Structure 1
Amino acid sequence: MGKLTARAIVERALEIGDTEGLDAVTIRRLATDLGVTPMALYWHFKNKEQLLSGMADHLIADFAPKPADDKAWNERLRDLAEGLIRTLRTHPCARNVLEQVDQTSVPNFLAVWDQALGLCREAGFSVQESCLITKYVLQSAIAIADAPVRFAGVHTPEEISEITRQKRLGLQSLPIEKYPHLVDMAGPLVEGMDSGLYDTFGVDLVLSGIEALAARR
């Protein structure tokens, strides 16, 4: 193969993470898959912590926050959240990667966070409020992106179907006099729903609260 690049390493690492889980991502495994010695990988990433940061940076690299335009702050914040969700959803392991890294060591994540902070300040929120709001928005986006692909990669479709069936039956078998709503809504609770509704409603839920707070300023 040609010269080994950091991009080639993190792309293969993400492929393994998506299909086998992050525990399977090791320097030795990557070296074997890429046909190089472990030392060749250490040239780019000194340890797994740096590798995970590289994976996280690559996850968000394709998502370029749009520069300021004529849209209102809340529309731009919505675009940012929805764009991040779409980007992260392309990799089942995305949430696990982002949860295991120091997000302040990920340049592309910092770019998204910085823009979100600016939008909150534009809306009239204080520095402390802006810090809290952006943490809620970004973590919500990560959680929303993860939900539909939660079992992807580490389970076959048949296994996912069986896991879902067992969860649904577990809720439906609860005492209906004590948990009437859980029993009644067991299906959509565990089987999921239309992804379009899931995404838009999730973002609406977060953004509507921020917009209501801003309106009281």
Structure 2
Amino acid sequence: MGKLTARAIAERALEIGDAEGLDAVTIRRLATDLGVTPMALYWHYKNKEQLLVGMADHLIAGFVPEPADERPWREQLRDLLEGLVRALRAHPCAKGVFEQIDQTLVPNFLAVWDRALGLARSAGFTAEECCLISKYLLQSAIAIADAPAHIQTDEWVRARRLSLESLPAGKYPHLVDMAGPLARGMNSALYDTFGVDLILAGIEALAARR
């Protein structure tokens, strides 16, 4: 292969993490896959903690927030949230990566975070409120993107629906009534859109009270 780069290492690490889980991501495994010695990887990442930070930075690298413009803050905040969800959704291991690192060490994440703070500020929130809004916003993006992407078998869905429908209707009326959609799960597009709408509606409602 050509010259080994931090980007190539992070890309391969994400591929392994997505397919096999983060426990499978080791320096030795990466060295074998990339056809180099472990020492060659240590030149870029001295330990797995640094590697995870590099993976986090790389998976967000494809999503770069647009510069602030004249549009209402609501539209810009929606673009930010939807873009982050898309970037994270592309990697099933994203949630695990971010749970294991100090997010302040990830340059691309800091750019998104800073933009979220700025947009909240432009909506009229106090500094303390901006901090809370950005925290909930970014954590929500990670949670939305972590929605199960696999499709359950018809047998699993049927068993799940029957299990919910067999609950005492007098005690759990809504679980029984909605057993079908609960068992089937949601269309991924609806899941993402509704999740983003729900979060932004809350922020807009708070802003309207200013």
Higher RCO structure (Cα 8 Å, ≥6 apart): 1
Per-residue deviation, 1:186 = 2.6
The equivalent position to 2:185 in structure 1, one of 183, 187, 192, is: 192
1:174-213 matched pairs, under 5 angstroms: 174-213=167-206
* In structure 1, distance between residues paired with 2:178 and 2:22: 33
What residue in structure 2 maps to residue 142 of structure 1? Answer: 142
- Alignment correspondent of 1:8: 8
Corresponding residue of 1:90:
90
| Bigger mean CA offset, 86-95 vs 173-182 | 173-182
Across the aligned residues of Structure 1 and Structure 2, the Cα RMSD in angstroms comes to 1.7
Compared with structure 1, are the counterparts of its residues 167 and 47 closer, same or farther at alpha carbon in structure 2 (3 Å cutoff)?
farther
The sequence identity of aligned pairs, in percent, is: 77
Q: Does 1:132 align with 2:125?
A: no
C-alpha distance in 2 between matches for 1:86 and 1:209: 21
Quick one: structure 1 residues 167 and 211, their matched pair in 2 at CA, closer, same or farther if it must change by over 3 Å? same
User: Post-superposition shift, 1:172?
Assistant: 3.3
Q: Distance in 1 between matches of 2:203 and 2:29?
A: 44
Q: Deviations over 1:57-110 (max 9, x none)?
A: 001001010111121011101110001111111111111111211111100000
1:163 to partner: Cα distance: 5.8
Aligned to 2:76: 76
**1:65 to 2:58 alignment:** no
Write the letter of the residue equivalent to 1:20: E
Change (3 A) 1:167 1:139: farther
Matches within 5 A, 1:42-61: 42-61=42-61
Residues paired across the two proteins, number = 209
CA pair 34-94 structure 1, distance change in 2 beyond 3 A: same
Q: Aligned equivalents of 1:137 and 1:93: distance in 2?
A: 19
SS in 2 for 1:147: coil
Contact residue 148 and residue 192 of structure 1 kept, 8 A: no
Match of 1:31 in 2: 31
TM-score by structure 1 length?
Answer: 0.90
Following TM superposition, the consecutive aligned residue runs of length 4 or more in structure 1 with deviations greater than 6 angstroms are none
Report if the CA contact (8 A) 1:31-1:41 is conserved: yes
- Alignment check: 8 A CA contact 1:172 1:182 kept: yes
Give 1:189 deviation, angstroms. 2.2
CA distance in 2, matches of 1:23, 1:165: 33
Gaps of 5+ in 2: none
